[in-house]
Amino acid sequence: MKKLCYAFALTGAIAGLAVTANAAGAVSSIMDSYEKNAENSYTVDYLEEDPYLVNIYEGYGFAKDYSSARGHAYVLEDVSNTERPHALANCLTCKTADFTKLVNDLGEDAYSLDFEETFADMHDNVGCYSCHEDKVADGTLVITHDYTAAAIGDEMGDTIAPAIAVCGQCHTEYYFKPENKATNVPYQDIASMDPAAELAYYDEMGFADWTQESTGTPLLKVQHPEIETVLGEGSIHAKMGLSCADCHMEKGAAEDGTEYPSHYLQSPLASEALLETCAQCHKDTDMAEKVHTLQAEITAREKEVGQELSDLKDKLAEAVAGGEYSEEELDAIRGLHRTAQWFFDYDYVENSEGAHNSTLAKRCLDTAEETIQEAMGLFKS
């Protein structure tokens, strides 16, 4: 695997920790801050919150179990307990540093190993190796995931900030290659990190996560495209030079005064220190009110468009069962159904509810709704 490293310390004082007298205090503080992530045990059952999801995901695991992530401290526990099926070890891709190292040692063959047998040897959640490999001491960020290295590794430190690229190894849309079930991403560079381009990628290769039995539509299940959203058209913060770390990781100071990047990952709205970063541009704006208003707007639109998508799915299922449409007519509607669900899902599963890139969130929902309306126009009266 091509290893991509970038000697980028999140704060200047972290560089050289291995050889300074203050190293022990800073490293201990970083570990303490990371362990604090265990406090994030709150979760939301999306299937209860938005019941239409059960219908649009019919025939796929997310119709059985779909809750918000509890964070890095719980990923192994949660992937083990989910009701969604996981026959192969590729489901562990972003759940544990142990599996990341296994892939780096064995190559793509690791992805098709048996899940249960492999899981028995997994002990650490997302950890130091995930973002730093063996270069923890000096704060170097490393792209440890092979598919990210292949896709955007050459752009890290140039067009993509290291603290975005490394987080984006997992916070991204992905799929499993049909030939060997290896994890991969549907883009090749920053220019192709766009929902329309990614859909075209899947369409060209004829890929579908599953074919829905009632509609016959070959559907895609979007994962969590945060890196695409943060870097995508309409995003402001990345263009200004801000990274995931700037907005989600406070700068702390150890007892001996050594400055370090806190590894307690949190919303900037929950941190006075992080809100000071916002204030550099937003001045005295009430950021909590601003963001919550935006998120409420996006959430309301999601519910509207999601229900419209569910209605389209039901109408298409009725048409399939009724036998009055030719396969050519049904396929025309299925193509629009696939597209509409892709764009809706691209917004829904991105975890910021529009805060990372409201322009893209609105574009996805508008495209989904327009496509639903086009599909509805193809049904016989």
What CA–CA distances, in Å, run from 31 to 128, 263, 269, 366? 9, 8, 23, 43
Total count of domains within the chain: 1
In a domain, 329, yes or no: no
In a domain, 82, yes or no: yes
In a domain, 250, yes or no: yes
pLDDT at 20 over 90: no
Against a cut of 0.75, is the pTM above it? yes
Over range 22-45, report the average pLDDT.
82
- Residue pLDDT, tens place only, 251-279: 888 888 888 889 999 999 999 989 988 98
- Residue pLDDT, tens place only, 109-129: 999 999 999 999 999 999 899
- Residue pLDDT, tens place only, 180-206: 999 999 999 999 999 999 999 999 999
Which residues constitute the domain of residue 194? 4-267
Report how far residue 161's alpha carbon sits from residue 154's, in angstroms, rounded to the nearest whole number.
Answer: 12
Q: Which CATH number belongs to the domain containing residue 144 in this structure?
A: 1.10.1130.10
pLDDT at 24: 59
CB 226 within 8 A of CB 356: yes
In a domain, 330, yes or no: no
In a domain, 303, yes or no: no
Q: Where are the alpha helices (DSSP H) in the chain?
A: 23-35, 46-49, 52-56, 75-81, 97-106, 115-119, 128-132, 146-152, 162-165, 195-205, 226-231, 244-248, 272-282, 287-322, 327-348, 358-376
